[in-house]
Structure 1
Amino acid sequence: MAAAQSTSHSKSGFKYKKRRHLSRELVLQGIYQWRVAGSDASFIETQLRDTSLFPKIDESFFSELLRGVLKNATMLEQHIQPCLDRSLTDLSPIESSILLLSTYELIYHLEIPYRAIINEAIELAKTYGGTDGYKYVNGVLDKLAAQLRTIEIQSLAKKKIEPAS
């Protein structure tokens, strides 16, 4: 019986993660559209709600991410730019959109481990970005996480070096 409950729980956990991943995919599409076409945020959100993917996502997570990134884009860019070796505008629109999304999550979603945020960004970059774009995204987000999630990173480092009891 306990094994069945555990399996059920892990399946629901998988569904939750999948819904969040799909939410990020839609948000990425919205940020991309906003950056490339300059579309209005409410128009983008309405358009994305009409996609076949929308019923499969975490709707509140999607809305909060999309609105949050677009509303705070200038501030997010100010965090990202010092970690780049070129201007943010010189990056591909996909890479810059992934960085905006992930930086927003690093700042405003402390309940999500920074490693999970970076892993999601890498997966998005592998799926939608250029051949080695994911490596660049990973490097930039590692730098950002070191600045934005210092306590979390230090806590993990301490756990690694503490002797087992």
Structure 2
Amino acid sequence: MTDQNSTPDTTAASASPAAAGTRKSSAKPARSRSREFALQALYQHIVGRNEASDIDVFTRDLSGFHKADSAHYDALLYGCIEQATALDAMIAPKLDRHFAEISPVEHAIMWIGVYEMQHCLDVPWRVVLNECIELAKDFGGTDGHKYVNAVLGGLAPELRSAEVQADRQSGRAK
């Protein structure tokens, strides 16, 4: 997504969670917040099979939504749901188990990561990866972040080959 009204991500929030899924940082970037709300919405879609428009209405009423980048949230929510089959087809070869055995939280985070790597070229791949790892730490299971890291880290060279290669040559990535 390259929305003219959105500011590109250049760093990822790294504050630790203060309480169930919230970080104590008043300076948390709006895009980080939009990812959190998109994750909650996508979880509702995966678990409850709720319609995107119904989820959207509910999510926009949640406390703190006004601090999120709503255009980025829209892109993530609607884009991930519309492209779910294609996203799963990219993710599946990197999994060591069936989707039914993957936590819906980690599943939604992987959707976000793959979607952003494909469509949000203004967000560096390392930021996408780090943001998804942080989401998994905040909302996922005990070691879910390691799984998300392995899957998205494995997809990054395929989805952002030139960018990953440039980072490897400069020493910023392995």
TM over 0.5: yes
CA distance in 2, matches of 1:42, 1:88: 24
Q: 1:73 aligns with which of 84, 98, 111?
A: 84
- Aligned Cα RMSD in Å? 1.7
Cα distance, 1:54 vs. partner? 1.1
Query: 1:80-99 maps to which residues of 2 (within 5 A)?
Result: 80-99=91-110
CA distance in 2, matches of 1:70, 1:17: 26
Cα distance, 1:150 vs. partner? 1.0
Q: Which runs of 5+ in 1 are unaligned?
A: 1-13
Query: 1:28-107 maps to which residues of 2 (within 5 A)?
Result: 28-107=39-118
Code of the aligned partner of 1:49: R
Cα distance, 1:89 vs. partner? 2.2
Q: How many residues align structurally?
A: 148
Q: Which residue of 2 aligns with 1:26?
A: 37
Aligned-residue identity in percent = 43
Is residue 158 of structure 2 the alignment partner of residue 147 of structure 1? Answer: yes
Which has a greater percent of helix? 1
Where 1:125 maps in the other structure, the secondary structure is: helix
CA distance in 1, matches of 2:125, 2:38: 18
Kindly indicate whether structure 1 or structure 2 has the higher relative contact order, using CA contacts under 8 Å at least 6 residues apart: 2
TM (normalized to structure 2)? 0.81
Q: Which runs of 5+ in 2 are unaligned?
A: 1-12, 14-25
Where 1:39 maps in the other structure, the secondary structure is: coil
TM (normalized to structure 1)? 0.85
Larger radius of gyration: 1
CA distance in 1, matches of 2:114, 2:70: 20
Alpha-carbon displacement from aligned partner over 1:33-85 (angstroms, at most 9, x marks no partner): 00000000100001111111211111111111111111111100000000111
Deviation >3 Å, runs of 4+? 14-17
Code of the aligned partner of 2:43: Y
Where 1:86 maps in the other structure, the secondary structure is: coil
Cα distance, 1:159 vs. partner? 2.3
**Contact kept? 2:117, 2:160, Cα under 8 Å:** yes
